[in-house]
Structure 1
Amino acid sequence: MRLRDSATLVPMASSTTAQTTATVHLVRHGEVHNPEKVLYGRLPGFGLSELGHRMAAGIADHFAARAEAGHPVHLLAASPLQRAQETVAPLAERLDMPVLTEERVLEAENAFEGLSRVKQQLRSPRWWPLLVNPLRPSWGEPYAQQVSRMLAAAKDLSELAVAEHGDGAEVVVISHQLPIWVTRLWAEDRPLWHDPRRRECSLTSITSLHIGPDGVESVSYAEPNKELLKDAIALPGA
């Protein structure tokens, strides 16, 4: 795996900081209650399902166990959307830590937001002009823009954690599938355009950016709630 110097989009390390190493864990939120299968995007009012709350509790267990094993979390942050805030809540309570609300790890903008049965809707010619460039993509926030804001957030949060807690600090950020996935694609020097069905970013999965003096040095992936995924419903707009 060849990792790209993160300065291509945004510098992850600064000559004015003492940062040497840090890890930013990008956690996708839990399952959302969405019986109408709406592509909810940034819409308000979409909180976790009962299973999603169990997933959030599992994430709290996972990071608490890591802390007991000598890998404590030093900083918690989350997207302002309800599903992300509800996912981080049990972890914040378990670790007795405050949560920073981070706008830059928000869900991607999407012109199809609010639609249900999206595949059927896209058969209508009214939507076809939005489908002309899947590489950008033409229906929403450019992939490169998502990566830039995610990396900027990771840079600032990791530097804050290192400044307060020293080398090797760990940060947990609750975010959303698409911004997390394209950030991983960028770090692994892969094209940002992709088939959404092939994303490796399951509900409450952890995509960890391991950061060194020159930026993102490696990426790792884990699914601590893997046993719960078989009961999850694949919902759009996650």
Structure 2
Amino acid sequence: MTVILLRHGRSTANTAGALAGRSAGVALDDRGLEQAAHIAERLGGLPVEEIVHSPLQRCEQTVAPLASRRGLTPTVDERLIEVDYGSWTGKSIKDLVKEPLWKVVQQHPSAAVFPGGEGLAQVQSRAVFAIREHDARLAEAYGRDVLWVACSHGDVIKSILADALGCHLDSFQRIVADPASVSVVRYSSTRPFVLRTNDTGLDLTALVPAVPTASSMDSDAMPGGGSGT
């Protein structure tokens, strides 16, 4: 199964320099709406079978053009929601960098628990479980490799990628997930393969699932890097 991890487009909070978290009414700004339309162009020609997204407005807006183009009804999954930043929610980034917890978030995120909110380790646990559960469900339903989209938030996507890369959560700040970017993970029977990260380009045709052959070893990594798609 291959999942396209899509970060929502640019929001009004992004441009205001605020930590939106789960605040209500945070929508895409004009640039974000343009990005959502562009996503429909980028992914619309791919055989996307399902779209799952965070319940927050900015994610719903991001996938709407793609869902319309593909004729799909998106599924909302609460486990893909933004981090609960607790009392940090709504505060400006320039003020938060002065907090002692800021250094923990940067250097030792696995130990970071937001006051009145959740810890980043909790975020990774719920998000990875959600992605793998959807993957298993689609594998059982289709009996073949399926391409699907999960639209979520920056820190959530970074935590999923850290798991797929087999690296500790304390390294997840080395991963970038810009607004409207796609990161792609293919889950095989033994391991995930990270195909793309923070991709904002146009050509994604290489993500179309290959037709399996009798000699294919979809769970094996090729010595030397293989011949590509």
TM category (shorter chain) comes to 0.7 to 0.9
- Percent identity between the aligned chains? 27
Cα shift at 1:132: 7.5
CA shift in 2, pair 1:75/1:192, >3 Å: same
Cα shift at 1:204: 1.2
Q: State whether residues 29 and 176 of structure 1, in contact with CA within 8 Å, keep that contact through their aligned partners in structure 2.
A: yes
CA shift in 2, pair 1:181/1:222, >3 Å: closer
1:178 lines up with 2:158 in the alignment: no
- SS of alignment partner, residue 170 of structure 2: coil
Cα shift at 1:109: 1.5
**In structure 2, distance between residues paired with 1:192 and 1:205:** 21
**In structure 2, distance between residues paired with 1:188 and 1:203:** 21
Alignment match, 1:8 = none
CA shift in 2, pair 1:191/1:159, >3 Å: closer
Pairing partner for 1:169 from 136, 141, 146: 146
- SS of alignment partner, residue 46 of structure 1: coil
1:78 lines up with 2:53 in the alignment: yes
Task: Compare the two structures and name the one with the higher helix fraction.
Answer: 2
Alignment match, 1:210 = 186
Cα shift at 1:222: 5.0
Deviates more, 1:56-65 or 1:138-147: 138-147
**In structure 1, distance between residues paired with 2:140 and 2:163:** 26
Q: State whether residues 77 and 99 of structure 1, in contact with CA within 8 Å, keep that contact through their aligned partners in structure 2.
A: yes
Question: Structure 2 matches for 1:5-20, cutoff 5 A?
Answer: none
- The higher-RCO structure (CA 8 Å, 6+ apart) is 1
TM-score of the superposed pair, with normalisation by structure 2: 0.76
**In structure 1, distance between residues paired with 2:201 and 2:194:** 23
Alignment match, 1:106 = 81
Q: Give the aligned residue type for 2:148.
A: V
Unaligned runs of 5+ in 2: 203-229
1:24 lines up with 2:3 in the alignment: yes
Pairing partner for 1:42 from 13, 18, 22: 22
**In structure 1, distance between residues paired with 2:135 and 2:97:** 40
Pairing partner for 1:51 from 31, 52, 56: 31
- SS of alignment partner, residue 75 of structure 1: strand
Pairing partner for 1:223 from 199, 216, 224: 199
Alignment match, 1:192 = 169
Aligned residue pairs total 194
Alignment match, 1:17 = none
CA shift in 2, pair 1:95/1:144, >3 Å: same
**In structure 1, distance between residues paired with 2:167 and 2:139:** 29
Q: State whether residues 79 and 103 of structure 1, in contact with CA within 8 Å, keep that contact through their aligned partners in structure 2.
A: yes
Cα shift at 1:190: 2.3
| Cα distance per residue 1:166-209 (max 9 Å; x no partner) | 3111110110000111221222122312585x532111111112
Q: Give the aligned residue type for 1:138.
A: V
Pairing partner for 2:128 from 127, 151, 165: 151
Q: State whether residues 51 and 74 of structure 2, in contact with CA within 8 Å, keep that contact through their aligned partners in structure 1.
A: yes
- SS of alignment partner, residue 19 of structure 2: coil
Q: Give the aligned residue type for 2:128.
A: L
TM-score of the superposed pair, with normalisation by structure 1: 0.73
Alignment match, 2:223 = none
Unaligned runs of 5+ in 1: 1-21, 227-238
